[in-house]
Amino acid sequence: MAKEKPGSLQIKSFADHHVITQPNPLRKVLLRVPESDLDDPVGRAEKALAGLSGEFKNWMTIEADRLSAAHAAILGDGFASDNREELFRAAHDIKGDAATFGFPSAGAAAESLCRIIEHAPDLDEVPASLITHHINAIQAIVRERTKLDTTVMASALSRQLRGVADEFLVKVNRDRPEHLEAILAPSIVPAE
């Protein structure tokens, strides 16, 4: 593979830092091609991704079921560290994957749930119904997607959940400025 030769580093030392440069070890993978080159790797990848899309509904169902299982563990044993981590990871995965799988509203509801888990001072003090509504909403969005008019409803549902969750988080974090700042900061991902 494209590797640099040992000993090729150049180091410049300053009072409080060093600047280290090396010849670009990946330079050789950059190929000069004529302007007429029609290769379109991004287009090819988008086509390949579209080819996977037949599996997305099934994948999304698996992700939603994993979230429900994590929630069931919490209902049974409380917010022990492992349970909390699994609920967060399951919600976080849906937040990241759902839009790719064609379920952006499920992703938005999962993001709202992640924010609750991350910023609530004490998860045992979070109204159980707030978490349950998020889980149920995600399940409903995933399972009812094929029905008419569910896209608009799913979007409205996730927005409403986010509104309620944010109101709760702002209230319980009023004395925790670092969390309040994070809660109110805009996302770097454009809104749906």
Which residues lie near another protein (CB under 8 A)?
A: 1-4, 10, 12, 14-35, 37, 39, 41-42, 44-49, 51-52, 59, 62-63, 85, 88-89, 92-93, 95-101, 107, 111, 114, 182, 185-189
Report yes or no: 116 and 168 within 8 Å, Cβ to Cβ: yes
| Least spacing, CB of residue 135 vs another protein, in Å | 17
35 or 125: CB nearest another protein? 35
φ, ψ for residue 144, nearest 5 deg? -100, 10
| Least spacing, CB of residue 163 vs another protein, in Å | 18
Integer angstrom CA distances of residue 58 from 18, 54, 100, 111, 134:
51, 8, 13, 21, 20
| Least spacing, CB of residue 167 vs another protein, in Å | 19
Task: Give residue for tokens 């109204």.
Answer: 127
The identity of residue 76, as a single letter, is G
End-to-end C-alpha distance for the chain, whole angstroms: 40
148 or 185: CB nearest another protein? 185
| Other beta carbons less than 10 A from residue 61's beta carbon | 14
153 or 182: CB nearest another protein? 182
29 or 148: CB nearest another protein? 29
Cβ-Cβ contacts under 8 Å for 108 (sequence gap 6 or more): 155, 158, 159, 162, 192
80 or 128: CB nearest another protein? 80
Rg over alpha carbons for the chain, rounded to the nearest Å, is 23
